[in-house]
A = this chain, B = another copy of it.
Amino acid sequence: MNFASDNWAGAHPAVAQSLTRHADGFAAAYGASDLDKRVERRFNEIFDREVAVFFVGTGTAANSLALASVNRPGGVTLCHRECHMIEDECGAPEYFTGGARLAPVEGELGRIDPHLLRQEIKRFPPEFVHHGQPMAVSITQCTEVGTVYTLPQIRAISEICREHQLPLHMDGARFANALVHLGVTPKQMTADCGVDVVSFGGTKNGCWCAEALVYLNPERARDLPFIRKRAAQLFSKTRFIAAQFDAYFDDGLWISLATHANAMAQQLALAVKESRSVRLAWKPEANELFVILKRKEYQRLTDGGAKFYPWNPPHAFHGHMADDEMMARLVTSFATTAEDVEQFAELMN
């Protein structure tokens, strides 16, 4: 019953096998091997267009380098107040950009409110140097609270970006889970919606360590090879990342794994709905559940062997919580089993 996080899971057997399969022999270092090139081409197929792909080691690296590549002096990236870049990356995006700022925008359930986004951008009149200047908008898909932007919602934001000539970044640490929830293609969720650059995450969905920066318009990526190397994110034996993605894409494994994780979350949600002691804070859409329960109940459940963590309620959360209640997060993954869910359901009752 481990619902702590999807990065507590290990590697899917197919990913592990691919690593072992590619362990032998010599291959050109620093991304020049045949395997690297072949897997890069697979991203073209996945995104149904020519994209520029850069493997990196962590999601924080992908996000930070994405911003570094669109950096401007006095630059400000507009993102959701509770997004991962603001909350959980120890200032890496600011560090990698030499001080560009992340400006928080409010919005319900983890999604940027387009109206407030427009207002926030207006706070920066062009040529008014004192405030700095917008340089990008970043959305998180899935959001930090487990919800998913619909395609029209993404488009509403990219239209604002286009009006202000701002690139749109998508932090896709849980890209696959969002995709599965929406039932669309990568192209539909990105290029067709006006997304310019994606932090494409594989780690949380069954890889060891496989993240990629994907530029929908390769022109924008001109400086990326230098940006990545300067940031110590060019691995010498890059084939070890390529090999993971290779297995990840084979036979749609990545979609299967996310489908499973999301399904487990739905089953968990059903169990919660039927429980007397725990309730959903909001409707889960991908592989994360946010629940409200009494502190004593949380204690009882964790004592009973369920692993999951308290969560600070989002600023814009308007649901009701009693004084003796708390919010918590449960995350499912490719490694979650139906038995885990059933066991938890029993434990709740």
Where the two chains meet, the residues of A that have a C-beta atom closer than 8 Å to any C-beta of B are: 2, 4-5, 7-13, 15-17, 19-20, 22-30, 56-61, 64, 68, 72-76, 87-102, 123, 127, 129-133, 203-204, 208-209, 223, 225-237, 239-240, 307, 312, 335
Q: Is the CB of A226 within 8 A of B72?
A: yes
Please name 18 further chain A to chain B contacts, defined as beta carbons within 8 Å, in addition to the given A10-B22, A57-B232, sorted by A numbering.
A5-B236, A11-B240, A15-B23, A57-B57, A57-B58, A58-B234, A58-B235, A60-B232, A72-B223, A73-B90, A89-B232, A90-B230, A99-B99, A99-B230, A101-B102, A123-B312, A129-B229, A130-B229
Taking CB atoms, residues of chain B closer than 8 Å to A99 are 91, 93-99, 230
User: Main SS of chain A's interface residues?
Assistant: loop
Q: Are B335 and A26 in contact (CB under 8 A)?
A: yes
Asked if B10 contacts A25 (CB within 8 A), the reply is yes
Query: Closest residue of chain B to A15, judged by CB?
Result: B23
A226 contacts B58, C-beta separation under 8 Å: no
**Contacts A129-B90, A130-B90 known; A95 to B231 CB distance under 8 Å?**
yes
Which single residue of chain B is at the shortest CB-CB distance from A56? B232
In the assembled complex, which residues on chain B have CB atoms less than 8 Å from the CB atom of A61? 232
Contact, CB under 8 Å: A94 / B94: yes
**Minimum C-beta distance from A12 to chain B (A):** 8
Q: How many chain copies does the complex carry?
A: 4
Pairwise interchain contact A7-B24, C-beta atoms closer than 8 A: no
Taking a contact as CB atoms under 8 Å apart, the answer to whether A236 and B7 are in contact is yes
Most-contacted residue by chain B among A20, A208, A233 (CB, 10 A): A208
Asked whether B26 lies within 8 Å of A230 as measured between CB atoms, the reply is no
In the complex, which residue of chain B has the Cβ closest to the Cβ of A333?
B26
A220 to chain B, nearest CB (A): 14
A102 to B29, alpha carbons, bound, how many Å? 26
Nearest-CB distance from A243 to chain B (Å)?
A: 9
Bound Cα distance from A24 to B12, whole angstroms: 8
Contacting residues, chain B, for A236 (C-beta < 8 A)? 5, 7, 58-59, 203-204
Chain B residue numbers with a CB within 8 Å of A91 are 73-76, 99-101, 132, 230
A33 nearest CB neighbor, chain B only: B8
Which of chain B's residues have a CB closer than 8 A to the CB of A133? 226
Q: Which residues of B contact A226 (CB under 8 A)?
A: 72-74, 90, 129, 132-133
> Quick one: closest B residue to A62, CB to CB?
B232
